[in-house]
Chains A and B, each alone.
Chain A
Amino acid sequence: MALLKRLARHKLPQITFTLNGEACFGLAGDTVMTAILTRTDRLRVSDFSNAPRAGFCQMGACQDCWVLTSEGKRIRACSTALEPGMNLRTMTEPRS
């Protein structure tokens, strides 16, 4: 279930992106965090107990919102603007 609930900005242009292989869209002005958490309930799992995490501070301090691009680059979701064509993966598999 989505964590974040949109109260405003509904009429802004859509931005298409891919999340975990699925095509979806966010809105202009979304951060990656908003785009993902308006449709799902986690961004990553914790490093040592695989507990789900979905950010905390929204201001680039807690470092709990890192997600991956399909090329393996890391993105801090709360401080990265959503861009068209982004290919994102939430880091929800346990580390090997």
Chain B
Amino acid sequence: MSDAIRPLIVGAGPAGIRAAQTLLGAGLRPVVVDEAASGGGQIYRQRLVPDERTPRDLYGSEAGKATALHEAFVRIRDRIDYLPQALVWNVRNKTADVAVDGRTRRLDFSHLILATGATDRVLPFRGWTTPGVFTLGGAQIALKSQGCAIGEQVVFLGSGPLLYLVAWQYMKAGARVAAVLDTAPFSAKLHLLRGLPFQPGVVFRGMRYVAELMARGVPVHFGVEPDRIEGTTQVEGIVWRERGKEHRLACDAVGYGFALRSETQLADLAGCRFVFDERDRAWRPERDLAGRTSVADVYIAGDGAGIAGADAAELAGERAGLALLEDAGRSVDHARIAVLERKLAAIHRFRDILEAAFPFPEALASRVDDDVLLCRCEEISVGEARAAARSQGVHELNRLKALTRIGMGRCQGRMCASAATEILAAAHGKPLESVGRLRAQPPVKPLPLEVMTDGEAA
């Protein structure tokens, strides 16, 4: 075991677990820090205690992968330094600040693998902050981890494969799915035919989800433009426009989202250079095929490096682990590297097709009314953002934040930065890239003031 190499892995989802496994295989003992109580990340999130449901009930077609991943982690847990329910809230040079249970400590590392995953990407529309509205990922977690539906009559809305997956999972679990509202036109789905040579299983599964939903009598609408969610204290209905006509449906819960957004704050604090990703419509850390960033000894893998899904995350985690080993002078299996890179390339080609089949609703971002809340933490409206763009000459996101408070709340822009980017760019008729990105500041999540320091005197 080498003392000189002290790797720190942030995140115990698919990418983090495979990275840890890879390093362990070379005789290293990485520290693995994760916010959750157990491994698996979001897509393979585990329940807190066992219950009557099978892995198939929880993870559907991915049950095999989920179980394999969880079992892999169980096997390695005692041979790594695993810190669950721990938050890396800052990274600087070769030190991370980690908070666990009200105590913070400094962790020195020689190498860093960031596997920080992603959250749902949302856009605001009237009523989006009403109790009973959750993200698609949130709706899925309620079901998977907690065995709950987000309501008695749930409407799912958005764009992306997750929309159909979650709706189908709800239906299978016995929830009442009132409707699936797809903001993309049906014709966009035809792009999926291009995906058949790459991931036929994924494409057929998606078709099956839609077919089974429809067979169960769940209305599926395409080309939807959400107008508002009705209800003051709780969701009562949803109103949308479709082919110029207004529709209304009674419901008591809405799960929505438009694909995912990467968690990149730690990469920013670590000094990584960022590039604009047209497909993700967002800036992400620059990386090579192996997951190396612009900073020596810092690697990224998984959805935190750009959205590519759980399968890619596992592959990328292993690939980044191998890159670390290679850079540290260890011998690595180049044949395996070639296999990983080939598989990753295939997945990325498929992601382009997915993006075409499930396009982001640009119009929704730019057409939302001025009086709708953009920043739900600070309660700043879309109109305030547009006014700053117009009359204060704001062209850039950090300046927008400084002058309007958008992004200054507890969530630090996670729920509003994507929308703020779209709205600011649209206000000036400029490309998304031109408005920049929010600069990360520590702590990357709220930190208790009374946090005690471990050991090292302040």
Identify the A interface with B (CB < 8 A). 1, 3-9, 11-12, 28-31, 34, 38, 41-42, 46-49, 51-64, 66, 74, 78-79, 81
Q: Is the CB of A42 within 8 A of B148?
A: no
- Report which of A30, A52, A66 forms a contact with B146, defined as CB distance below 8 A: A30
Partner of A3, one of B36, B151, B411, B414: B151
With CB as the reference atom, state the residue of chain A lying closest to B378. Answer: A48
Report B-chain residues with C-beta under 8 Å of the C-beta of A74.
Answer: 448
Look across to chain A and name the residue whose beta carbon is closest to the beta carbon of B149. Answer: A5
From A47, A58, A63, name the one whose CB has the most chain B CB atoms within 10 angstroms.
Answer: A58
Evaluate contact between A59 and B174: CB separation under 8 angstroms. Answer: no
Contact status B135-A57, CB under 8 Å: yes
Instruction: Give Cα distance in the complex from A48 to B253, angstroms.
Output: 24
Contacts of B47 in A (CB 8 A): 9, 29
* 8 Å CB interface, B390-446 against A: 409-411, 414-415, 445-446
A19 to chain B, nearest CB (A): 16
Contact status A8-B142, CB under 8 Å:
no
A26 to chain B, nearest CB (A): 10
Secondary structure dominating the interface of B = loop
Q: A7-B174, A54-B132 are in contact. Are A81 and B445 (CB under 8 A)?
A: no
CB nearest to B139 among chain A residues? A58
Is the CB–CB distance between B146 and A29 below 8 Å?
A: yes
Which B residue's beta carbon lies closest to that of A60? B35
Closest to B233 in A: A52
Count class of interface residues, chain B:
35 or more
28 contacts between A and B (CB under 8 A): A3-B132, A5-B150, A7-B147, A7-B149, A9-B52, A9-B147, A12-B49, A12-B51, A41-B132, A41-B234, A46-B379, A48-B378, A52-B232, A54-B131, A55-B138, A56-B134, A57-B135, A57-B138, A58-B139, A59-B119, A59-B138, A61-B119, A62-B135, A62-B376, A63-B409, A78-B141, A79-B36, A81-B37
Q: How far is the CA of A28 from the CA of B445 in the complex (A)?
A: 27
| A34 contacts B131, C-beta separation under 8 Å | no
Q: Given A3-B253, A47-B377, 7 more contacts at CB 8 Å?
A: A3-B252, A7-B149, A7-B174, A9-B53, A48-B379, A56-B135, A61-B415
Closest to A65 in B: B138
Q: Is the CB of B234 within 8 A of A31?
A: no
Verify A29–B49 contact, CB threshold 8 A.
yes
Contact B48 A58 (CB under 8 A): no
Whether B234 contacts A1 by the Cβ 8 Å rule is yes
Which residues of the partner chain A approach B142 to less than 8 Å between Cβ atoms? 4, 34, 58
